[in-house]
């Protein structure tokens, strides 16, 4: 088993990565079971795939375990769903000792984590990611949230899990499109942090059927754990993880949640951010081309005609705007991200030509 530490003093926790790990969860959590209620928050389809077996195994091991399901897609990250989950937990007689198991992708992890952060002023939770994107990104670092009409994750908190349990075998049930979405986030880690990793990813993408997902997951988790350990509250270094996300989130909001997957939006946003970096004269044009070539090895959706001004309006609502200044992530070179405060509206609008 590969164990990666997120070092946050009293809030430190481990990311455990091992094929078949889901079958060992009762044993892994046994020392944390003190007779409290355990709640699996998931989607019904995932309960059929893995959740009901997990619940049975936990019950057989002496856990008092129940479950709550949420809708598929971003619809789950709403104030209505948040309220419904809280009501169900109260009906189930949950209390401050209750522990949540977030079994699912980024959507499940975000809403379950936000519930954990706010139910009775905060209870414990574990992330059990079931998608590639969640394994390498959203399950790590404690970001939780729900959406509003104005944008993604406009309401939320940073609330760290007690642990992240990653079973790469769960990826065998994913459709190809979900794998592609997760690969967008994996490319991000190479682009902002490790040029050699990015080069390996580019080579691996030449044959997706033999892509070493286990190795890529471990490396991505290690990079994110390192960054989060150094900057939990996103005051500086952690902002690099937003590379591709400013325009990516705007694409998601403009096209409609569910019309484009998060990792696809990030991949397209990275092409725009790479172009902006080259136009600012800080990223060599050959390196920009290398980044674009790698991203283009993914099978990304063809975008419909978009109104650039509408995209810009969503960017203006982005959480990365502080004191009226957009903190946009650019590349000084491949493997070295940076924060730029001088990206103009015109650059953002013109960058959209790269993806249409």
pLDDT (tens digit, 9 = 90+) per residue, 57-116? 999 999 999 999 999 988 899 999 999 999 999 999 999 999 999 999 999 999 999 999
User: Of 242, 252, 261, 264, which is the active-site residue?
Assistant: 242
The whole-number average pLDDT for the span 25-31 is 98
Question: Is residue 118 domain-shared with residue 10, that is, in the same domain?
Answer: yes
Question: Is residue 285 domain-shared with residue 137, that is, in the same domain?
Answer: no
Question: Is residue 337 domain-shared with residue 192, that is, in the same domain?
Answer: yes
Distance CA 159, CA 102 (A): 13
The whole-number average pLDDT for the span 251-279 is 92
Question: Is residue 285 domain-shared with residue 212, that is, in the same domain?
Answer: yes
Distance CA 5, CA 229 (A): 9
DSSP strand pairing (13-17 vs 163-166) = parallel
pLDDT value for 321: 81
pLDDT digits (tens, 9 = 90+) for 208-232: 999 999 999 999 999 999 999 999 9
pLDDT value for 12: 98
**Active-site annotation holds for 224:** yes
Q: Which of 153, 133, 109 is nearest to 298 (CA)?
A: 133
C-beta of residue 55 within 8 angstroms of C-beta of residue 39: no
Q: H-helix or E-strand containing 216?
A: helix 213-230
Question: Is residue 180 domain-shared with residue 169, that is, in the same domain?
Answer: no
The whole-number average pLDDT for the span 142-154 is 87
Any idea which of 22-31, 198-207, 267-276, 315-324 has the lowest mean pLDDT?
315-324
333 DSSP β-pair partners: 336
How many of the other CB atoms lie within 10 Å of CB of 116? Answer: 26
pLDDT digits (tens, 9 = 90+) for 149-201: 877 788 999 999 999 999 999 999 899 999 999 999 999 999 999 999 999 99
**Active-site annotation holds for 23:** no
Q: Is the pLDDT of residue 257 over 70?
A: no
Question: Is residue 339 domain-shared with residue 219, that is, in the same domain?
Answer: yes
3-state secondary structure 277-297: HHHCCCCCHHHHHHHHHHHCC
**Active-site annotation holds for 45:** no
Question: Is residue 94 domain-shared with residue 200, that is, in the same domain?
Answer: no
User: Of 234, 252, 271, 327, which is the active-site residue?
Assistant: 234
**What CATH number corresponds to the domain at position 238?**
1.20.1090.10
Question: Is residue 261 domain-shared with residue 321, that is, in the same domain?
Answer: yes
**Torsional class of 37: left (φ above 0), alpha (ψ -120 to 50), beta (otherwise):** beta
**Active-site annotation holds for 11:** no
Distance CA 277, CA 242 (A): 14
How many distinct structural domains can be found in the chain? 2
How many of the other CB atoms lie within 10 Å of CB of 324? Answer: 6
Q: H-helix or E-strand containing 66?
A: strand 64-69
User: Of 262, 264, 290, 327, which is the active-site residue?
Assistant: 262
38 DSSP β-pair partners: 65, 99
What is the residue-wise DSSP string for 151-197?
EEEEEEEE---SEEEE-GGGGGGS-HHHHHHHHHHHHHHHHHH-HHH
- C-alpha pair distances (Å), 73 with each of 45, 125, 127, 259, 264: 12, 21, 18, 10, 15
User: Of 31, 34, 93, 121, which is the active-site residue?
Assistant: 121
C-beta of residue 254 within 8 angstroms of C-beta of residue 98: no
Instruction: Domain of residue 198: give its range.
Output: 176-355
**Active-site annotation holds for 81:** no
Of the residues 138, 153, 173, the one at which a domain ends:
173
**Active-site annotation holds for 143:** yes
**Active-site annotation holds for 27:** no
**Active-site annotation holds for 259:** no
Question: Is residue 127 domain-shared with residue 182, that is, in the same domain?
Answer: no
User: Of 219, 238, 261, 327, which is the active-site residue?
Assistant: 238
**Active-site annotation holds for 33:** no
Distance CA 75, CA 88 (A): 18
Looking at every residue in the chain, the average pLDDT score rounds to 95
Of the residues 154, 173, 192, the one at which a domain ends:
173
Question: Is residue 17 domain-shared with residue 161, that is, in the same domain?
Answer: yes
User: Of 188, 224, 254, 271, which is the active-site residue?
Assistant: 224
Question: Is residue 167 domain-shared with residue 205, that is, in the same domain?
Answer: no
Which are the contacts of 122, defined by CB distance < 8 A and separation ≥ 6? 116, 159
Of the residues 152, 173, 194, the one at which a domain ends:
173
User: Of 152, 219, 249, 271, which is the active-site residue?
Assistant: 249
Question: Is residue 166 domain-shared with residue 214, that is, in the same domain?
Answer: no
**Active-site annotation holds for 218:** no
pLDDT digits (tens, 9 = 90+) for 104-122: 999 999 999 999 999 999 9
Structure tokens at 46: 């995932």
């Amino acid at each position: 088993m590969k164990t990666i530490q997120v070092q946050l003093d009293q809030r430190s926790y481990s990311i455990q990565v091992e094929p078949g790990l889901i079958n060992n969860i009762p044993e892994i959590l046994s020392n944390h079971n003190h007779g409290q209620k355990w709640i699996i928050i998931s989607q019904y389809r995932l309960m059929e795939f893995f959740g009901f077996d997990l619940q049975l195994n936990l019950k057989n091991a002496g856990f008092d375990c129940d479950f709550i399901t949420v809708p598929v897609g971003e619809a789950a990250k709403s104030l209505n769903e948040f309220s419904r989950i809280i009501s169900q937990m109260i009906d189930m007689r949950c209390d401050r000792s209750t522990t949540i198991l977030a079994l699912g992708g980024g959507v499940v992890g975000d809403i379950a984590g936000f519930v954990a952060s706010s139910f009775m002023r905060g209870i414990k939770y574990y992330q059990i990611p079931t998608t590639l994107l969640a394994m390498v990104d959203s399950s790590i670092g404690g970001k939780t949230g729900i959406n509003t009409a104005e944008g993604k994750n406009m309401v939320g908190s940073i609330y760290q899990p007690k642990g992240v349990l990653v079973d790469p075998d769960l990826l065998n049930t994913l459709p190809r499109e979900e794998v592609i979405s997760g690969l967008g986030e994996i490319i991000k880690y190479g682009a902002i942090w490790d040029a050699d990793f990015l080069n390996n990813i580019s080579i691996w993408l030449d044959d997706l059927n033999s892509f070493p997902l286990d190795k890529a997951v471990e490396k991505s988790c290690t990079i994110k754990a390192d960054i989060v350990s150094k900057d939990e509250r996103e005051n500086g270094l952690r902002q690099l993880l937003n590379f591709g996300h400013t325009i990516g989130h705007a694409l998601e909001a403009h096209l409609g949640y569910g019309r484009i997957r998060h990792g696809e939006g990030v991949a397209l946003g990275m092409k725009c951010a790479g172009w902006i970096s080259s136009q600012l004269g800080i990223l060599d044009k050959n390196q920009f081309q290398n980044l674009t070539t790698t991203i283009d090895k993914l099978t990304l959706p063809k975008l419909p005609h978009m109104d650039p001004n509408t995209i810009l309006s969503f960017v203006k609502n982005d959480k990365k705007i502080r004191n009226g200044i957009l903190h946009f992530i650019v590349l000084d070179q491949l493997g070295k991200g940076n924060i730029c405060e001088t990206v103009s509206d015109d650059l953002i609008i013109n960058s959209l030509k790269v993806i249409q």
